[in-house]
Amino acid sequence: MLGCLLLAVGLAGTACAPTPPQNHGQHDREQTDQGIGHAGSLPHLRPEVIRVLPHDRSSFTQGLEMADGVLFEGTGLRGESAVRAIDPTTGRVLRETRLPADLFGEGITITGDRIWQLTWQEGVAIERDRNSLAELRRVHYTGEGWGVCHDGSRLVTSDGSARLTFRDPATFTETGQVVVRAGGEEVDRLNELECVGGQVWANLWGSDDIARIDPATGQVTAVVDASGLLSPQEQRGADVLNGIAAVPGTDEFLLTGKYWPHLYLVRFVPA
């Protein structure tokens, strides 16, 4: 657990409790903030920063996942896509595997000793060995791939629309869908996903908002405004917020973005 790891090295005092946009990825920083907003009765949260950690600023981050004190990161862009195992306290890359140049890497998630990695428009999901990151097989799916998470029994995937698709974690076969709504309106541009505590947390592409979603109904149950993490100087050359990983056994998350210089260990608190 990251909280335990950080405490051990004296870096934090956290407790150790047991139709999609066609330029996705290529021109994110040209997008304006298109978040859910802050009207209405939805609970609004903000990230309380516990610790600032290093992040490779050359990473076009598409997916984050924490397991056994190791941070796994999937990155995108054709010719640059990779999946890495990282020491989160130092940012040191422990292992890395690059994708073939014709594949645009997207979200990742862990299922036991395996990793699933999506691709953007190629309709290919790659299953990997978690320890070596070696490719084990490929399966094909229809539509685009953006985010993916594992809720303990099924995979949840996004494609940039307002739809979440449920899949069998062994076969990647589609088993169902739900449309995400807030106040009766569809919430689209669902991007990087994290499943934890029976909820799905989703980055909303092109904004600083993170939606907490009840996957049983598709209803947004809270909105996180994650703006202001980067200083104005750090924002120069940085791209959009994208990357959320729950720290197992805690109420903490790691947040980052594409070309961001930092990871932020945070706790979501009332705004």
Q: What is the pLDDT of residue 41?
A: 80
| Cα dihedral sign, 206-208-214-218 | negative
Tell me the two tokens of residue 149.
């998470």
114-119 vs 105-111, strand pairing mode: antiparallel
- DSSP state for residue 219 in the 8-state scheme: B
80 phi-psi bin (left φ>0, alpha ψ -120 to 50, beta other): alpha
Q: What is the pLDDT of residue 224?
A: 97
Q: What is the pLDDT of residue 12?
A: 38
Tell me the two tokens of residue 33.
């903030």
Q: What is the pLDDT of residue 13?
A: 34
In 10 A of CB 94, how many CB atoms? 13
Tell me the two tokens of residue 191.
């991007």
* Host H or E run for residue 2: helix 2-8
Question: How far, in Å, CA of 57 to CA of 24, rounded?
Answer: 19
Question: How far, in Å, CA of 244 to CA of 224, rounded?
Answer: 12
Q: Where are the alpha helices (DSSP H) in 85-180?
A: none
In 10 A of CB 26, how many CB atoms? 14
Q: Can you name the residues that pair with 115 across neighbouring β-strands?
A: 110, 128
Q: Which residues contact 162 (CB under 8 A, 6 or more apart)?
A: 179, 180, 181, 186, 187, 188, 190
Tell me the two tokens of residue 212.
């907490």
Q: Which candidate, 20, 54, 73, 116, places its Cα nearest to that of 265?
A: 54
Segments of the chain with pLDDT less than 70? 1-40
Place of tokens 């890495």: 84
Q: Which residues contact 84 (CB under 8 A, 6 or more apart)?
A: 72, 73, 74, 75, 93, 94, 95, 96, 97, 133
Tell me the two tokens of residue 144.
């685009």
